[in-house]
Amino acid sequence: MASVPTPGGIVDLPASDYCLRFVVEGVPGETELRLAAKPGFPRPVIDVSRYRPRGSARRVRSQPVRERIPEVDACARVRTELLDNRSYVDAHKWLNENRSSLSSEIYGFLRALSDAVQATRRMETDNTRKRLQEAQRFLNGFEVGVAECARGLFGDLREGLLLPVGFEDGDEAGPTGTPQQLGHAARGVVPVVIRHKETGLTFRLVPGLTFGQGCVPRAIGETGSCDLAEQPQHSVTVADFWMMTTETPLAAYRRFVRDRGLSIVLPTRTTGDDEVPARSVPWGVAEQFCRRLGARLPSESEWDLAARSNDGASIIDWETIGGVGPAEVRYGDAGKLGIYHLLGNVEEWVQDVWHSDYRGAPRHGRPWVDGADPDYRVLRGGTFAVHEAEITPWRRNMNLMDVHFETIGFRCAVSVEGPPTAFAVGR
């Protein structure tokens, strides 16, 4: 038991008394004062006047706490749980069990980082970004030795594919809470929606971002794995662009082709409801249609970013529509970006030539069109004919560019830099 002070007095503590609970008469509860006494340093002293008690101190009692865990050791332990064991659950458990032995800064940093891993596993994009921003604030305040350990953990998690590549040390969040936004969208000067004047087709803004393209490994206890075609995950920087709000509707596709007298043969199997997606469209026809709009097919990286960023969108799979599809282009929820059916309904052509994996993939976000057979093009998004477990933002497919399959459709994209006069701002 330490000596009892008067209000505004000084308490001189033995070196073993690391924790005090200070009780003031007339004030409910206790005020806990936690001290760290290090070997070789003077005994800790607490100035009671800093806490401005409103009555006389009735008692001050002390109790020892567990030995402090070095911050570098804490980094190493959490790294083991997250990377070697691939378990954010065990990381959380260890942090909770040892919270009293960790500084508030290192605990906050490691907890935010493990929470970010958990959010990444659950595809909770916004939550991942928030947790990473929280971890970054702690990181900026660390001393040199601890900062080196913490930055190393950041890098290890990215290399281990447990965190999205793109939240680099020192990056700040843009006005929408998205880290490392690029171009005009980060400055808030790009319209969210543009409309093609002739067809009425709308396009919504996808803010540019540096992110990790490729498969995200599943957490322990979940099923599924990465295909070789989806690896390795790699950092890609995509500039701002607009993506068509829906798959290309059959009505707009048919009308535009006929009204313009284009040299495009409408596939005989694209019949039925005008609001279903245009299907059985070969790659070259889809590309020509987009070009005549003043648009283009999206790159694979652009498509990937849009799909990952569109939280809350409906996934149109076999169960959703009872195996009879596809659904109409505006069926279900459009998600955070306001873009329908990036996942499911019909597969969508992108510009890129098919490569069997991402080795050697460019990091600029533009189409990857060299180094492989140009007759084979990439398809993204999955279809209504498969189950939801087979539909992910990173799942890749391919086919010959001149095939006519009823599960293949497309949508167009527009670059932010100098959109053509064929477009107007707003719906």
Confidence at residue 171, expressed as pLDDT on a 0 to 100 scale: 34
- 166 inside domain: no
Residue identified by tokens 């003031």 is 24
Q: What is the mean pLDDT of residues 32-36?
A: 45
Provide the number of structural domains found in the chain: 3
Whether the predicted pLDDT of 32 surpasses 70: no
- 175 inside domain: no
Statement to judge: residues 138 and 205 lie in one domain: no
- 174 inside domain: no
- 169 inside domain: no
Whether the predicted pLDDT of 6 surpasses 70: no
Pairing of strands 347-353, 408-409: parallel
Statement to judge: residues 118 and 246 lie in one domain: no
* Mean pLDDT over each residue of the chain, to the nearest integer: 74
- 5 inside domain: no
Amino acid at 268: T
CATH code for position 314 = 3.90.1580.10
Confidence at residue 100, expressed as pLDDT on a 0 to 100 scale: 85
- The pTM of this model reads 0.58
Whether the predicted pLDDT of 257 surpasses 80: no
* Percent of the chain residues past pLDDT 90, beyond the cut: 24
- Which residue range is the domain that position 28 belongs to? 10-63
- 170 inside domain: no
Position 396 confidence tier, pLDDT thresholds 50, 70, 90: very high
Which range (15-19, 239-243, 311-315) has the least confidence? Answer: 15-19
Statement to judge: residues 103 and 212 lie in one domain: no
Statement to judge: residues 56 and 83 lie in one domain: no
Position 400 confidence tier, pLDDT thresholds 50, 70, 90: very high
Strand partners, 59: 23
Q: How far apart are CA 167 and CA 222, in angstroms?
A: 25
Statement to judge: residues 204 and 292 lie in one domain: yes
Statement to judge: residues 206 and 351 lie in one domain: yes
Statement to judge: residues 32 and 152 lie in one domain: no
326 upstream amide cis, omega within 30 of 0:
yes
